Amino acid sequence: MLKPNNLFYFVFQSTLKMSDKDYLKDISEIKNLMNKSSRFISLSGLSGVLAGIYALIGAAIAYWLVMTYSNGTLYIFHGRVFWACMAVLMMIAILSAVTGIILTTRKAKKTGDKMWDNSSKRLLLNFLIPLTVGGVYCLIILSQGTYGQTGGLMLIFYGLALVCASKYSIGDIQYLGYIQIILGLIASYYPGYGFWLWAIGFGVMHIIYGTWMHFKYDVNK
């Protein structure tokens, strides 16, 4: 490979070899800066697990409420039971959000990242737009008395929100999003299973995903 008569080439090659490590460092720093400046990566995996547990507990409470006070028919709500279930749903949402904020702040502090910067703002905005539209739409549907589709709709809009947000955070979130969308579509086709698919999507999937993220990103660091 080396031409001995070309001294310049030889000298050049050897200086290049010496600085290879620097170039490698350059590239890894470029990658790091690109991620740090455009993505918020301090989301805590553990908060996903807890959100899943809240969802399962909430689902169990709702199930018990409907079974004992609503003639045992899971899909026909009566006034008071309906509002109780809505309250449970709100509690799950609030608890999950609060847990997420607390654990993510803690993780951001540990890794020395800023909690409230451009990347987290963008992440939140892109997550909240589909989610808010979906939430309002679900409320409209509920006010019209068509309960059957709400489980599926919640899953679909939540999935879309995750896919949207994944561009501004750890890319893995999109897979959770796709799973939620698929579950949501199945739930729309079989409204009778809406409740169970909701429990799988918001409960079981969150726990699996959160555990996976916890071990992939949180534990090693």
The span from the CA of 20 to the CA of 174, in Å, is: 35
Comparison of 108 and 197: residue with beta carbon closer to other proteins: 108
Cβ at position 20, least distance to other proteins in Å: 6
Give Cα 195 to chain centroid, integer Å: 20
Q: Are 183 and 215 in contact (CB under 8 A)?
A: no
Q: What Rg, from alpha-carbon coordinates, does the chain have?
A: 24
Cβ at position 11, least distance to other proteins in Å: 12
Q: How many residues does the chain have?
A: 221
Please give the span between the terminal C-alpha atoms of the chain, in angstroms, as a whole number: 43
The span from the CA of 113 to the CA of 107, in Å, is: 8
The span from the CA of 156 to the CA of 162, in Å, is: 10
Q: How many CB atoms lie within 10 A of CB 31?
A: 10
Cβ at position 113, least distance to other proteins in Å: 11
Cβ at position 26, least distance to other proteins in Å: 6
Comparison of 122 and 214: residue with beta carbon closer to other proteins: 122
Q: Using DSSP, how many helices (H) and how many strands (E) does the chain show? A: 8, 0
Q: Which residues contact other proteins by CB under 8 A? A: 9, 12, 16-17, 20, 23-24, 26-27, 29-30, 33-34, 36-38, 114, 117-118
Cβ at position 19, least distance to other proteins in Å: 9
Cβ at position 28, least distance to other proteins in Å: 11
Q: What's the half-sphere exposure (Cβ side, CA atoms, 13 Å) at 120?
A: 12
Comparison of 27 and 76: residue with beta carbon closer to other proteins: 27
Comparison of 124 and 142: residue with beta carbon closer to other proteins: 124
Comparison of 20 and 79: residue with beta carbon closer to other proteins: 20
The span from the CA of 165 to the CA of 149, in Å, is: 24
Comparison of 17 and 221: residue with beta carbon closer to other proteins: 17
